[in-house]
Structures are given as structure tokens and as C-alpha cells.
Amino acid sequence: MFVVVGVTGGIAAYKTVSLVRLLVKAGHDVHVIPTDDALRFVGLPTWEALSRNPVTTSVHDDVAKVRHVALGQSAELVIVAPATANTLAAMTAGLASDLLGTTLLATTAPVVVAPAMHTEMWRHPATTHNMRVLRERGVHVVGPADGVLTGGDSGPGRMSEPEDIVAAALALVERPHDLDGLSVVVSAGGTREPIDPVRFLGNRSSGRQGVALARAAVARGARVTLVAAHLEADVVPDPRVEVVRVGTAAEMQRAMDAASPDADVVVMAAAVADYSVAAVSERKLSKDRTGGDTLTLELVENPDIVAGLASRRRPGQTIVAFAAETVADEAELLERARAKAARKGVDLLAANAVGWTQGFESQENAVVVVTGAGDVVSRAAGSKDETADALWDAIAAARG
Ligand code: CTP
């Protein structure tokens, strides 16, 4: 595969040496584009020797071959590692000031960036904004990892390990197309039930797992509708996914009922409020009106959306639920998963253990997948992207 590796000016450039070696060893045709700053960390001869291809940084070299766009046009995959705050800003702005910039503008291949910078720079609103825009454009982000940084300080900002970046990047392009032509509906996020105009009952779901499921399905060939309730700011759906935004459980039910009849697979990954407030106050509740030391809210049960979809499913349609459980051990998780899958009448149920520090607001997940009959068909642990792919493997296998 024709792989372009952009290297930008951060100390982590030394780790990109092994990234390039891994790609070359795996038989890929690697073309390195360092920025001028990157060459202060690792010199041009190193990149040429490792990649076994000529390396330039200038748009004015090899003009006859229109090199400033040729690499981008030929690329089947582009990896930028390390991606400095400066490069991420330049990518967001679409700057074409060097060979890497023109290549990134000229390519239609998947682009993977591995950010590396100090924690303060990673958390700066400018960088947060840039990452959001890049994700919206379909750029894949690996890392940064949490750990000790060059200055001795620690926090998120370390470039991910070369093996992880290569694995994530190759998984994007070497995906099976086993969902080709399928129509898929995924729900994600957490619903919010209003109490009054300014307050709600909600939950800690970020939407990360559901958004990863939608992204994986689209990469494997499906047409995907994502019904999204209150995603975290940094959780951005793939641009190829059709997104329907909802707020409450009732809105989610309407959207799911509308989107699902023609779907081949429905995955209910959203955390849906089990109850809503019986009488939503038109005015903000205030202590002088409610009085007393305690406040009682009357709640009414919401309909079970996934159970409804399962009971109305047409032949050939696969309905998948999730279950987030606080359990003591794996045996209890399995027991609850089996009972829940049977009660809801779904084809598959992916159960994960959650707690105060587990499951939510995390990049990782671990699920066990059971069938409606209670058989364990899959176990997956890793990033939410890896978990998503493992779940689609299980769904594809169950559909036969
Ligand atoms: N779910 C749903 N509609 C609801 C509540 C949950 O469709 N009103 C779906 C979730 O999207 C998830 C699955 O049901 O796919 C399991 O959700 P969970 O909250 O674990 O199940 P509950 O039925 O609420 O069971 P319990 O509260 O007893 O654990």
C-alpha cells in the first residue's frame, strides 16, 4: 500500500522512526514527508534510508512530476505522526505552505493524526476547536496518550506508541467490507429528562461507544443513521453518517421508530432514562415554592425502546442492545446480561461493567456479547473503536 507519513517538529519524531520501520517491514511503500522543523529532530538521510524512497520537504523539488500533489493523489493512507499543535492548526486552516500541507489538501485517502504536545497545549481551546473541526472532516485521531512528557511533567500529550498508531491506521484501510449494502441504525449518548426549564435528569454516557459503532459500520460498507442524544463535545460523528439529534427518551423513541423499520441492523447503544418526570414544571422550581428540606419528584416509567423494536422486528432484521451493569464479578455480569437479553427479546446484547471510575468518560471498554438464548458469542476489550469492530464481527457472524 502507498502510505504517506508526515512527520512534524516534535521530539516524538524519534518514535516515528520505528513507525516507518514497522510499515516498511509489513511490505508497504512508505513515503515520508518531514516538515523543516521535523528535520531538526531526525535528519533526512534517516528517513530516506528507512523508507527506501526519496524524501523532500519542498514543493519546489521534482516540479516536473507535480510532486506537491502527486504524493497526496497516490496515497492510500496518510499518517501524520507526531502531529504538533502547529500542524493541527495548519491542517484545520487548510494551509498549503509546505509539501505536507499540499499533500494533505490533495489527498482523498484516510488521514490519521497522532497528536503530541504538552498537556496545556492539548487542552487549549484553540487545539480543542481544531481537533473538533478535523474530526468533523473525517480525520482519525490516535491518542494522545497520558504519561510523562519531555519536560518531566505528565498528563495527556504523549504521542501514542508506533505499534498502536500503525494498527489503528491499517485497520481503517484493511477493514472487511462485510456490511456492504446494509442499512444500520445506531443510537448513542444519554437522554435527558427535563424537570423544569433549566434542570434535567441525565446520565454520564459520552456517546463515544455509539459513535465508534457508527463509524465502524460506515467503514465496513453500511449506510448508517445515528440517533444521538447529548454527545460529549469531543465526540464527533463520522461525516458519512446521517445524524438525527434528540434530547429526551420520548424523542429518541420517535426517532428510532421512524428510522428502524427499513434497517437491517439496529444497535441501541444509548443510555436511555428509565423514568421521566411526571409533571415538568413550566417555571423554574425554587425553594420558596417547593419548601421543606426534601424534594420529591414523581417519575413515570419510559417505554423500553429496544424491547419495542425487537417485538416488531421484521424477518432478517437484527436488534442489538447494550447493558451497563454495576456488578461484583464476571459471573454476575453474565447472569444479568442473559436475563436482560431474554427480557428485551433482542438478538444480541453487549454487556459491560460500569462503576464510578469504569466505563464512562473513558476511551476504553470491555464487553461480553450474549445471544437472546444466553450463549456467549464474543468478548472484546480495548479502545472503543476496537470494541465496536468486535461487536460488528459478532453481528455479522450472527447474521450468517
Ligand atoms: N433501553 C431502551 N429504552 C429504555 C431503557 C433502555 O431501549 N427506556 C435500552 C438501552 O439503550 C440498552 C438496553 O435497553 O440497549 C439496556 O438498558 P439498561 O438501562 O441497562 O436496561 P434497563 O431495561 O433499564 O434495565 P435495568 O434498569 O433493570 O438494569
Bridge partner residues of 188 (DSSP): 228
Distance 282 CA to ligand 1 centre (A): 28
State how far the Cα of 338 lies from the Cα of 313, in Å rounded to an integer. 20
Q: Are strands 140-141 and 199-201 parallel, antiparallel or unpaired?
A: unpaired
State how far the Cα of 244 lies from the Cα of 187, in Å rounded to an integer. 9
Distance 312 CA to ligand 1 centre (A): 17
Domains of the chain, with CATH numbers? 2-174 (3.40.50.1950), 183-399 (3.40.50.10300)
- Alpha helix stretches (DSSP H) within the chain: 13-25, 44-51, 67-74, 85-93, 99-106, 119-123, 125-136, 162-173, 208-219, 249-259, 287-290, 305-311, 330-344, 384-399
State how far the Cα of 295 lies from the Cα of 310, in Å rounded to an integer. 37
| Sheet bearing 265-268, strands edge to edge | 242-246, 223-229, 183-189, 265-268, 318-325, 348-353, 364-371, 376-383
Which residues form ligand 1's pocket by a CB distance below 6 Å? 249, 268, 270, 272, 274, 302, 304-306, 321-324
Residue 175 has which C-alpha cell?
477493514
Q: What is the pLDDT along the chain (400 residues), one digit of tens a residue?
A: 999 999 999 999 999 999 999 999 999 999 999 999 999 999 999 999 999 999 988 767 766 666 778 899 999 999 999 999 999 999 999 999 999 999 999 999 999 999 999 999 999 999 999 999 999 898 999 999 988 877 777 888 999 999 999 999 998 888 888 999 999 999 999 999 999 999 999 999 999 999 999 999 999 999 999 999 999 988 989 888 999 999 999 999 999 999 999 999 999 999 999 999 999 999 999 887 777 788 999 999 999 999 999 999 999 999 999 999 988 888 999 999 999 999 999 999 999 988 776 666 677 888 999 999 999 999 988 888 889 999 999 999 999 8
Catalytic position from the list 53, 130, 203, 302: 203
State how far the Cα of 304 lies from the Cα of 282, in Å rounded to an integer. 26
